[in-house]
Structure 1
Amino acid sequence: MKKTFKKILHFAKRMVTEYGRDNTFELGAALAYYTIFSIVPLLVVVIAVSGIVAGPDAVRGQVFGQLTGLVGPDTAKALQDMLGEAYISGKGVLATIIGLVTLFIGATGIFNSLKNSLNRMWGIEPKPKNSVVHFLVSRLLSFSFVMGLGFLLVVTFTLNALVRGFADKLGHYMPELGAQLVQVISFGITFVISTLIFAFIFKFLPAVKIAWKDVLPGAAFTTVLFVLGELIIGLYFDSTEPASMFGAAAGLISLLIWTFYSSQTVFFGAEFVYVWCEVHGRPIQPATDAVKVVRRVVKMENGKPVEVEE
């Protein structure tokens, strides 16, 4: 028992060390900045994709219901108003094309920024490539994650609908049990889907080779942090009332706060994956189109660089 506790403590210390070394606050601030410009295009695409199956109105209601719980009613309302203005109104072919290109670039901005952050944290650098081709491939990869989010959203809605249908039938016989069952199973579904999303992000977004058995524990750990973060941020918004503190900028500030914290949960989860791989003797390897970047600290002695142990 004592030996196990020491291993856990050592693991946690390594995570915290890596977390501080990688300047994650700076990376989180950059990701929050990109989110401001990407969140509305991202919502447009996700709602459009999932709305094909579930219906756009139903999906929109579910999405903004979740956002209200995450970032508060003021921010969710502001995003809903922005989304209403974002749809292309068809003012000619050129305007439509420009709108679609802007939508594509905007919707992929979050994932592109997250990919660069994970590469940097894991010491990976993509090889130099043709700038235009690399840009398109990078954006297409990020766009595939956006499409995947839409698909997983449909799966979540479908499973929750099936659970509610089963619980309604059960409720005729045991009303209290039916309501509790919906809450428990819905939470389980959301937890599993969230874990899958984080697992796919860690597995496919950075330019790395990594096994599923190394990704899944970190994804589950990240989901736990994310759930705890929802509770903490919810309590923060309830107690501080951003609208009274920041006035007209309350929605924007709330979104920045939520994005910054969410980015830290993902980055801490990424450090979990990194340390997990190191501890189990399976260091993260670069993909075929990337190289490993090794960090060294040196000092100058007699005009020559001498490596210093960190």
Structure 2
Amino acid sequence: MNSPKNPILKQGYRLFIFLKNTYLAWDRNDPFAKSAIIAYYTLFSLPSLLMIVTSIASAFVGPEAVQGRIHDEIARFISPEVAIAIEQMIGKVTVENDNWITLIISIAALIYGATGVFFQMKKTMNTIWNVTEKKSNFKRMLINRAIAFGMVLVLGFMLLVAFVITVLLNLLTDYLSQFAPSITVVFADALRFLISFLFIASLFAAIFKILPDVKMGYKTTVLGASITAILFLIGESILGYYFASSNPASVYGGAASIVLILLWVNYTCLILFFGAEITVQYAIAKKHKIVPNSHAKLAHTEEMEALRKKQKQVEADKKKAIKLATNPEESNTP
């Protein structure tokens, strides 16, 4: 199909081709299996992850306020039952301090559990960007865990900033409501949506910038994170309506909260990976060179090396076959 000459149709055609290539690349990377893997790791990482994030923010604003904010956000995105279940999870995660050896082991286990989801997400991001690590050893594993823990700290800092902004917004709306109550409600809703968008877009930008082993420009990162945040907010609205209307976890009884967490993380990861694929396709469309960092290389380089080895082996086998066909008596020599 040729590109239309009309400027508007031409832009629409380019957008169609762009989205088509994005979807095909997204589907080729098997996002459903990878989302299911991350949902599984999230289930086990969630208590440790939320405890560390809560501890970081609680050092400044108090644990009750932070836990209340987390409860409200989870209740808004998933369900109140899941929010209560997660609060109970956080309460049961403890760090033993009987002696220094037990304390070190407890903290190490806590960090290892909290970083699991970002560790797996890093692997998926590398697959999407078509890069692979040069070496996989214990030292590199520790570095990857440190990077994942960095994402946990970023999440805790962002939660603190979002909490402070929300408090300031509430104070502002309370003051303005004295003069124009009806206008203040609309203003507050719009501002809350903007804050949610900025928070989510910043989180995605941090994921795109920190986790993959590539050198990515800030313009590409911000654009990809913004598009992903829009998709996320649209998707979460649809998921919220779906969970509220159809109650997909009702058949699971006491395990309903766990099922809802898995479903929510699974669907969210599908959106995240599609947003990451949009970022990759945008970089390709704009002819931005994808440069791996010092610890990685392009995946097709590894594939080319394997192909060259296979080609050499085929040539060697071919020469051997020709030699045996020319001198058949050699094959019967003991």
TM-score using structure 2 length: 0.86
Question: Match of 1:240?
Answer: 246
State the 1:242 CA deviation.
Answer: 4.5
Among 4, 21, 32, which residue is 2:11 paired with?
4
Residue by residue over 1:171-203, the C-alpha shift from the partner in whole angstroms, topping out at 9 and shown as x without a partner, is: 111112222222111110111121111111111
1:28 aligns with 2:28: no
CA distance in 1, matches of 2:147, 2:77: 27
Among 197, 208, 213, which residue is 1:202 paired with?
208
Among 264, 279, 287, which residue is 2:293 paired with?
287
State the 1:98 CA deviation.
Answer: 1.9
State the 1:267 CA deviation.
Answer: 0.3
Question: Match of 1:79?
Answer: 86
Question: Match of 1:174?
Answer: 180
Q: 1:90 to 1:165 in 2, by over 3 A?
A: same
Question: Match of 2:324?
Answer: none
1:190 aligns with 2:196: yes
CA distance in 1, matches of 2:246, 2:81: 13
CA distance in 2, matches of 1:183, 1:55: 26
SS in 2 for 1:87: coil
Question: Match of 1:61?
Answer: 68
**Kept after mapping to 1: 8 A contact 2:209/2:216:** yes
Question: Match of 1:44?
Answer: 51
State the 1:95 CA deviation.
Answer: 2.9
Question: Match of 1:70?
Answer: 77
Question: Match of 1:308?
Answer: none
**Kept after mapping to 2: 8 A contact 1:74/1:243:** no
Among 202, 217, 227, which residue is 1:221 paired with?
227
Q: What code does the residue aligned with 2:72 have? A: G
CA distance in 2, matches of 1:283, 1:75: 43
What stretches of structure 1 move > 4 A for 4+ residues in a row?
none
1:115 aligns with 2:122: yes
Identical aligned residues as a percent: 31
Q: 1:244 to 1:104 in 2, by over 3 A?
A: same
Which segments of 5 or more consecutive residues in structure 1 lack a partner in the other structure?
306-310
Aligned residues: 300
Which segments of 5 or more consecutive residues in structure 2 lack a partner in the other structure?
1-7, 316-334
**Kept after mapping to 1: 8 A contact 2:48/2:111:** yes
State the 1:304 CA deviation.
Answer: 6.7
Q: What code does the residue aligned with 1:182 have? A: A
Superposed, which structure 2 residues align to 1:248-259 within 5 Å? 248-259=254-265
1:133 aligns with 2:135: no
CA distance in 1, matches of 2:158, 2:293: 26
Which deviates further from its counterpart, 214-223 or 67-76? 67-76
CA distance in 1, matches of 2:250, 2:203: 35
CA distance in 1, matches of 2:282, 2:250: 44
CA distance in 1, matches of 2:249, 2:15: 42
Superposed, which structure 2 residues align to 1:135-154 within 5 Å? 135-154=141-160
CA distance in 2, matches of 1:82, 1:96: 20
**Kept after mapping to 2: 8 A contact 1:118/1:206:** yes
**Kept after mapping to 1: 8 A contact 2:225/2:275:** yes
SS in 1 for 2:297: strand
Superposed, which structure 2 residues align to 1:294-309 within 5 Å? 294=300
CA distance in 1, matches of 2:199, 2:248: 30
CA distance in 2, matches of 1:284, 1:192: 26
Which one has a bigger Cα radius of gyration? 2
Which deviates further from its counterpart, 263-272 or 222-231? 222-231
CA distance in 2, matches of 1:60, 1:83: 9
SS in 2 for 1:291: strand
Q: What code does the residue aligned with 2:58 have? A: G
Q: 1:99 to 1:242 in 2, by over 3 A?
A: farther
Residue by residue over 1:228-261, the C-alpha shift from the partner in whole angstroms, topping out at 9 and shown as x without a partner, is: 1211111121122345311011011101100001
1:19 aligns with 2:17: no
CA RMSD across the alignment: 1.9
